[in-house]
A and B are shown apart, each in its own frame.
Chain A
Amino acid sequence: MTLRLSDLIDDRPTDGAFRVNRAIFTDPGVFDAEIRRLFEGGWVFLGIESQAAGPHDFFTTFAGRVPVLVQRDGEGTLRAFVNTCPHKGARLAQVRQGNARLHVCPYHSWTFDSAGRNKAIKWQKAGCYAEAFDRDDHGLKPLPQFANYRGFLFGSVAGEVTPLGEYLGEATKLLDLVADQSEDGLELVPGQVTFTYEANWKLQLENCSDAYHFTSAHPSYIRVLERRQKEMSGDVVASVWENSDYWKEEAEGVGGGSYSFANGHVLNWGVFGITPAIPLYERAGELAERHGEGKRDWMFNMRNVTIFPNLQIAENASSQLRVIRPIAPGLTEMRTWCIAPKGESAGARRQRIRQYEDFFNPTGMATPDDTVSYENCQIGFAGTVEPWLQGYARGMTASVAGGNRFSDRIDLQPERSVLADSQLCDETLYHAYYRAWAARMAGEFEA
């Protein structure tokens, strides 16, 4: 690639300038490098522990292009393997989740136990194998790195990576806000929803952190909320936004803001009160007792977390866990779940699910207006007459080093922060994405 990094990311803090070149969303060479350096060159999110809760449970996913099998053995140890047979490479586990003491490869019946050991090579004695074959390990190849942070499972195709805890850094506290909502941990509500959109994966990365689009892209959803608010009938789906001013243009004062962290992790957030519209309400007292009011209040705040590059947890209209899977420069697959604290009451769970479907599903009333906008961007990115985009400039004079009085409440120490009213809509939090991106991609470019 003959491009220079500065041709793609124009980052000049002293000039108050930050611009991104459209090419990073469309260029096949950039995409290929992203897969190698970001998705196969470091930690990516694989799944949550409850997806393989019992002995011999497993689930499958991808780390970049690499098919991955996360498998629990009979003793309870969880491991991640490359989901491919050492014989001739066939994908071993075919389904997204299941339970298997043994995986028998459907092609020539090589067999592996739930710890990844080869248990049988069909007709081995009669196979006239040479010693060279016997010297090979015929078991499943472990994913070079695999680690568990409080039930969030990460893996890396590259072996040489910083330990997971270091990679996540202060962002672990954002995962704690999810994990600590129940003493029993979290679970994915049964029913997975997968969708694709014809645009670059980074549009999803950014949109999760984009407070600016809400009233522009979702006026139809807002109108539905207003209709429901007037009615307050038991027939309609209750919404958490009903009790919040966060999305209203005329709201005044600090409504939220953004935090950015090392390695490209970010949070944008808004103040939500402790209201019955939030399914967690039934535990408000108990959570304050156990974790203190500061942390409890943060659990109730609207929070959109990105763990770079592929995990997002959005707790706003409901609670969503999303995994971003880039397929091509202009094609992305999203695997999404409703994530919930274990053991919540039947009523709270129902409310969470109803709120989720309405807002988050690609068959709902909000997400399609996002993803269609991504597709409009992808088409517009071909307009390279002016390659530089101007969408990284809001908040430039509001961004400060370190945290603020809100992050102090949970001893959260971001690299940078912005305190915002409803109209500021910080865009500097994207800088964290692209600085991490630039640091990891630097080797691809000419100096």
Chain B
Amino acid sequence: MELTQSQAEQLLYREALLIDTGRFADWLELFTPDVEFWMPAWRDETTTTQDPDRELSLIYYKGRRNLEDRVMRLTSGLSTASTPLPRAVHQVTNVMVTAQDGEGADVSAAFTCHRFDVRMNRADCFFGRYEYRLVRAGQDWKIARKKIILLNDTIPTVVDINAI
């Protein structure tokens, strides 16, 4: 069964809602155990890094287990930078299913995330593109790969997984 436009949109919107409302355990459930979660760095003005094994990324994880660590840190109350958690809301748009095959589908989208850092009384906006690989898991679709291309990569103090 093919991924419909509406299914793709619903999954991406749900992901955004789960992050924005702090339901991180449910958010983690959206990923396959061997998910690749990748936000490349920029090599120069025009190209991002392409090979995570030989070039630097802003974030690179293979395995949901590492995202669980990130969530643990974010919600532990032990991280000054994450306490109190900034408020954030994602807008996910331009959702397109770009490829389909037997196992899954590729989806691309654009995002903006507005983050309000209550600690510093400061609002920032992060924006870029998403590239997803979605795979079937029973009745559901799961995220097997998420690539985040952050366009404004001069980081104002901190960017965590809840603002991209």
Distance to closest chain A CB from B40 (angstroms)? 7
Given contacts A368-B79, A376-B80, is CB(A193)–CB(B62) below 8 Å?
no
Docked CA distance A321–B96 (Å)? 40
Distance in Å from the Cβ of B74 to the closest Cβ of chain A?
Answer: 8
Closest to B75 in A: A220
Interface-side segment among A79-87, A128-136, A223-231, A293-301:
A223-231
| Known A224-B73, A362-B157; contact A354-B60, beta-carbon cutoff 8 A | yes
Closest CB-CB distance, B133 to chain A, in whole Å?
Answer: 18
Could you tell me the distance between the alpha carbons of A120 and B105 in the complex, rounded to whole angstroms? 55
A363 interfacial by beta-carbon distance below 8 Å:
yes
A96 at the interface (CB under 8 A from B): yes
Residue of A nearest to B48 (CB): A191
Contacts of B1 in A (CB 8 A): none
* Chain A residues, Cβ within 8 Å of B42: 191-192
Known: A195-B154, A353-B53, A368-B160. A97 touches B66 (CB 8 A): no
A357 to B155: give the CA distance in the assembly, Å: 14
Contact flags A377-420 to B (C-beta < 8 A → 1, else 0): 00000000000000000000000000000000000000000000
Q: Please indicate the chain B residues that have their CB under 8 angstroms from the CB of A364 in the complex.
A: 59
In the complex, A446→B65 CA distance in Å?
59
B151 at the interface (CB under 8 A from A): no
Q: How far is the CA of A361 from the CA of B69 in the complex (A)?
A: 16
Q: Is A375 an interface residue (CB 8 A)?
A: yes
Interface residues as binary, B18-53 with A (CB distance below 8 Å gives 1, 0 otherwise): 000000000000000000000111111100010011
The segment from A33-41, A147-155, A232-240, A436-444 found at the interface with B is: A232-240
Q: Are A190 and B55 in contact (CB under 8 A)?
A: yes
- CB neighbours (8 Å) of A353 from chain B are 52-57, 60
In the assembled complex, how far is the CB of residue A359 from the closest CB belonging to chain B, in whole angstroms? Answer: 12
User: How far is A337 from B49 in the complex, measured between Cα atoms in Å?
Assistant: 13
B56–A369 touching, CB < 8 Å: no
B118 in the interface, Cβ–Cβ < 8 Å?
A: no
Residues 69-109 of B contacting A (Cβ, < 8 Å): 69-70, 72-73, 76, 78-82
Q: How far is the CB of A67 from chain B (nearest CB, A)?
A: 16
Partner of B76, one of A223, A337, A367: A223
Cα of A236 to Cα of B62 in the assembled complex, Å: 8
A contact residues around B49 at 8 Å (CB):
190-191
B128 at the binding interface (Cβ < 8 Å): no
Query: Of A96, A197, A231, which one neighbours B45 at CB under 8 angstroms?
Result: A96
User: In the bound complex, do residue B59 and residue A198 qualify as a contact, i.e. CB atoms below 8 Å apart?
Assistant: no
Please, which residues of chain A bring their CB within 8 A of the CB of B40? 191
Is the Cβ of A363 less than 8 Å from the Cβ of B157?
no
Q: Are B66 and A237 in contact (CB under 8 A)?
A: yes
Q: CA separation between A235 and B62, bound complex, in Å?
A: 7
Which residue of B has the minimal Cβ distance to A351? B53
CB distance from B2 to the nearest CB of A (A): 31
Most chain A beta-carbon neighbours within 10 Å: one of B49, B63, B120, B157 = B157
For this complex, 23 residue pairs linking A to B, each with C-beta atoms less than 8 Å apart, are A95-B45, A98-B44, A190-B43, A190-B54, A191-B49, A191-B57, A192-B41, A193-B41, A195-B154, A195-B157, A196-B156, A220-B76, A221-B73, A346-B53, A353-B52, A353-B55, A361-B58, A362-B157, A363-B155, A365-B70, A369-B80, A375-B120, A376-B80
Q: Which 6 A-B pairs have the closest CB atoms?
A: A191-B56, A191-B41, A368-B81, A368-B158, A235-B63, A220-B78
Binding site for B on A (CB under 8 A): 95-98, 189-198, 217, 219-221, 223-224, 227-228, 231, 233, 235-237, 333, 337-338, 346, 349-350, 353-354, 356-357, 361-365, 367-369, 371-373, 375-376
